A and B are shown apart, each in its own frame.
Chain A
Amino acid sequence: MKMSKILAVILVAIMLVACFAACDQGGKGDNDGNTDLAGTYDITMWVSEKDGVADQFKQQIAAFEKANPGIKINASIEGVTEADAGSKVVADVATAPDIYCFAQDQLARLVQAGALAKPGVKAAETIKANNDAGSVAAATVAGSIYAYPMTSDNGYFLYYDKSIISEEDADSLEAIIAACEKNGKKFRYALENAWYTASFFFATGCHSTWTMTAEGEFNAIDDDFNSAAGLIAMKGMQKLAQSPCYDSDADTFADAGAIVTGIWNAGAAEEHFGANLGATDLPSFEVDGKSYHLGGFTGYKLMGVKPQTDTKRAAVLSLLAQYLTGEECQLQRATEFQWGPSNLEAAKSEVVQSNISLAAFAKQAASENCVPQGQIHGAWWDIAKVLGADAKAASSDAALQTALDNYDAAIDAVLSMSDEAKQAWSVIGDICGSNWDTDFPMTADGENTWISEVLELEAGKQFKVRQGAAWDVNFGANGVAGGDNIVVETTGKYQVKLVYDGTTASIELIPVE
């Protein structure tokens, strides 16, 4: 953006602030009366692409306008599947819609890309008070809420054919497999999708938790898939995957005797199973005489607001998002589309309690092996989904173990750099025969001081000092962050010394005899 534009933005911001300050003097403590926000707003929105969703949103926006006289909203609404709305937003934040709905696994990436505006303090309190704890956690990165929870139903459970599988059998993986094999039906379970693969691992008590910084960057993982319990999970998975009735394609119902899928297929399930439709939580599987209840992710769908440069507009969008994710709107969606509400009041309603699919989801979500889906590194999905294929292909326990070892190695590679390595300083340049592609390490030499090994530097060669072998933090001539290269004046043997206290840096060449 051009300097002039930034200036203009700052000016406008100052003017607005002054304006609001003036209002404050008029005796209004906060923004409850929306008269200040009156105006017409052209906004763009992405909501689920399912039939009728966009229309319902339009009606809800009309209701919002009625409730907030003076605010006029011209919304253009597009249908975009929540599963990858996030990746489409980060492709170009500048032209992204003002409000968009996304599945919560994309939150971290969106925060990193600066594509989400934090709700204000009051709005955050409202969100916390009115939604279930899991959904609030799902909208939180490093302690701050970044989005508005919209549904609490993004998980999987079991649909089955009552005519071949009894209610009792539906509790046991082995019984379901046997019934499907006997009747020549398929047991559809997308084990080659990490989201589903994880269910077996959670069943045996494994966990995989990522943590991230406030900037939305992942910095650690606590993962024990590669363990004795993990091996049991692999064995369980192998049992299903090597059965002739297994099919990893759970997007279709063809021939299905049982299928593990979610609420989005409620309509298709009714169509396929008809009167024989059964829905319940996931079954248990047995390995070495012990039984494990399949776990899974419970996921959420969130509504995000794109960062605005104008406070007034930001306030309106925030109000709108709060309204659209409020009790009334969530209940409307539950009634019409069977979307499970994250709003506590809406979840208690009759509509939600009596729905067979939502009940099955709730039952599964209540299982202790069900994990609210936190923030997960994008690469994990690709790495973990290989486990399903591996379990299917494995012919021995050793092969299962190898698969877990590979998984472990791949996870490590994602966070290839330890914290220590990320903090480490180094010298880099066209020095010592390298060409800006080799880091010469520096070691700590007292507090706030680092010193390199002895380097032979030729006159005229250039270098810089950087941290973590990346250019995010680096110092050049005169200790300027991101400044010009330092030029060696006379040829000789030197040690490079850096003094950096977190704010100012100085770099010194110390000649060595």
Chain B
Amino acid sequence: MKKQNDNKIKKTGLGAKASRRISNAIIYFILIVITIVWLFPFVGILLESFKTETNMQTPYLFPKEFGFDHYVKLFTKTDFLKWFGNTAIMGVATAVLQTVFILSMSYVLSRLRFKGRKGLMNMMLILGMFPGFLTMILIYKVFADAGLTEKMAPLGLIIVYCASSAMGYYVSKGFFDTIPKSLDEAARVDGATRFQVFYKVIMPLSKPIVIYTILMGFMAPWGDFILASYLIHENSQGMNVAVGMYEWLSRTNMNTHYTMFCAAGVIVAIPVVAVFLGLQKYYVEGVTGGAVKG
């Protein structure tokens, strides 16, 4: 990409218009290449899922014959629907709870000043540096005792996802920081309590970050494998999609389930991509607004 800039310098002699046209052409070319590279895996998985073969890595991209066998099998012969339901429930619950947690934390850190605020932020920064999954060893034991594993693992996982989620306050704090403080002060002068300021002044302005946080919460359970597989302990009634599908790639299953894995992958991707693309505008606003200060 450096090259492109060099080209430009050399060609300043060509006149501004021509040089811009050339550099734009180069940029279009790069962007098209990027599009192909970035979409390749998705198209690949999609095509793989329509193959009628069951084994992996058939040496061609396009299916020799299109078939929906795997999709049919997925819903009739496996517990996939159950896993999908579990994950969807976890996604929604996590989205709601996590948003409450993160927004409370980030709002407090951004707008309110109190004793121990700086210390709290430092503490969370430091805690975030400890390899998190080591803590699972203990959490698992406690949950196993409390009956929050196996069949009830989705509930346990929701708790795990949400409990410490406030430590990821950075982006939304950054967003709140960009809202002028004078708004709060004006409201306070008018006699509003801090709660009213939060509820009536800040929240209406924070739609992008709220949606961003909801989105991130909703997406987290779809990809989680390590924590989930630990808590689920092989109970097919409590699985999320990742854990359930991972089994299909085991040594003894790969040759019979690989393309089914791809089909399931496509189905998992549909709701996430749909929600994501629908709310992309807010996601972009949230992350750009928040990351400036985050």
Whether A and B touch (Cβ < 8 Å) is answered with yes
Is B113 among interface residues, defined by CB-CB distance under 8 A? no
Q: Give the interface size bracket for B toward A.
A: 20 to 34
State whether A252 touches B55 (Cβ < 8 A). yes
> Is B59 in the interface zone, CB < 8 Å from A?
yes
Q: B234 contacts A78, CB within 8 Å?
A: yes
Q: Are B59 and A251 in contact (CB under 8 A)?
A: no
| Bound CA–CA A382/B234 (angstroms) | 25
Check if A511 is an interface residue, CB within 8 A of chain B: no
Are A252 and B57 touching (Cβ within 8 A)?
A: yes
Known A81-B250, A252-B255, A267-B256; judge A92-B55 contact (CB<8 A).
no
Instruction: Report Cα–Cα, A78/B247, bound state, in Å.
Output: 12
Tell me, yes or no, whether A80 is within 8 Å of chain B by CB.
Answer: yes
**Min CB–CB distance A261 → chain B (angstroms):** 9
Interface string of A243-257 (1 = CB under 8 A from B): 000000001111100
Residue B58 at the chain A interface, CB threshold 8 Å:
yes
- Label chain B's interface by main secondary structure: loop
Partner of B234, one of A50, A51, A80, A255: A80
In residues 75-111 of chain A, which contact B (Cβ within 8 Å)?
78-81, 83, 88, 91-92, 94-95
Chain B residue with Cβ nearest A95: B144
A64 CB to closest chain B CB (Å) equals 23
Using CB atoms, name the residue of chain B closest to A80. Answer: B234
B55 and A268 contacting across the interface, CB-CB below 8 Å: yes
Is there contact, CB below 8 Å, between B252 and A92? no
Docked-complex contact B55 and A253, CB < 8 angstroms: yes
Query: What size tier do the contact residues of chain A reach?
Result: 20 to 34
Are B140 and A78 in contact (CB-based, < 8 A)?
A: no
Q: Mark B129-149, 1 if CB is under 8 A from A, else 0.
A: 000000000001100100001
Which A residue's beta carbon lies closest to that of B230? Answer: A91
Judge whether A20 is part of the interface by a CB distance below 8 angstroms. no
Query: How far apart sit A426 and B95, CA to CA, in the bound complex (Å)?
Result: 57
| Measured CA separation A80–B235 after assembly (Å) | 9
The answer for the CA separation of A98 and B55 in the assembled complex, in Å, is 34
CA distance A95 to B56 in the complex (A): 35
Report the minimum CB–CB distance from A273 to chain B (whole Å). 12
Secondary structure class of chain A's binding surface, majority of residues: mixed
On whether the beta carbons of B144 and A94 are closer than 8 Å, the reply is: yes
A251 to B144, Cβ gap below 8 A? Answer: no
Q: Digit string of A220-262 for contact with B (CB within 8 Å is 1, else 0)?
A: 0000000000000000000000000000000111110000000
B255 touching A50, Cβ below 8 Å:
no
Mask: chain B, 176-219; 1 = CB below 8 Å from A; 0 = not: 00000000000000000000000000000000000000000000
Chain A residues contacting B236 (CB-CB under 8 Å) are: 78-79
Cβ-defined contact, B235 with A254, below 8 A? no
Instruction: Chain A residues near B150: list those with CB within 8 A.
Output: 95
Tell me the smallest distance from the CB of B226 to a CB of chain A, in Å: 13
B10 beta carbon closer than 8 Å to chain A: no
CB-nearest residue of chain B to A84? B250
Contact A49 B255 (CB under 8 A): no
Q: Is A46 an interface residue (CB 8 A)?
A: yes
Q: Is A218 an interface residue when CB atoms closer than 8 A count as contact?
A: no
Which residues of chain A are near B233, meaning CB under 8 Å?
A: 88, 91-92, 95
A-B contact pairs, 18 of them (CB 8 A): A49-B247, A49-B250, A50-B252, A79-B236, A81-B247, A81-B251, A83-B252, A88-B234, A92-B140, A92-B141, A92-B144, A92-B233, A95-B144, A251-B251, A252-B56, A252-B57, A254-B57, A265-B252
Which chain B residues have a beta carbon within 8 Å of chain A's beta carbons? 54-59, 77, 140-141, 144, 149-150, 230, 233-236, 247, 250-256
Pairs of residues from A and B, 8 with the lowest C-beta to C-beta distance, nearest first: A268-B255, A264-B252, A80-B234, A251-B254, A254-B57, A81-B250, A95-B144, A78-B234
With A95-B233, A267-B255 given, name 15 new contacts (CB 8 A).
A49-B250, A50-B253, A78-B235, A79-B247, A81-B251, A92-B140, A92-B233, A251-B254, A251-B255, A252-B56, A254-B56, A254-B59, A265-B252, A268-B255, A271-B55
A residues near B (Cβ < 8 Å) are 46, 49-51, 78-81, 83, 88, 91-92, 94-95, 251-255, 264-265, 267-268, 271-272
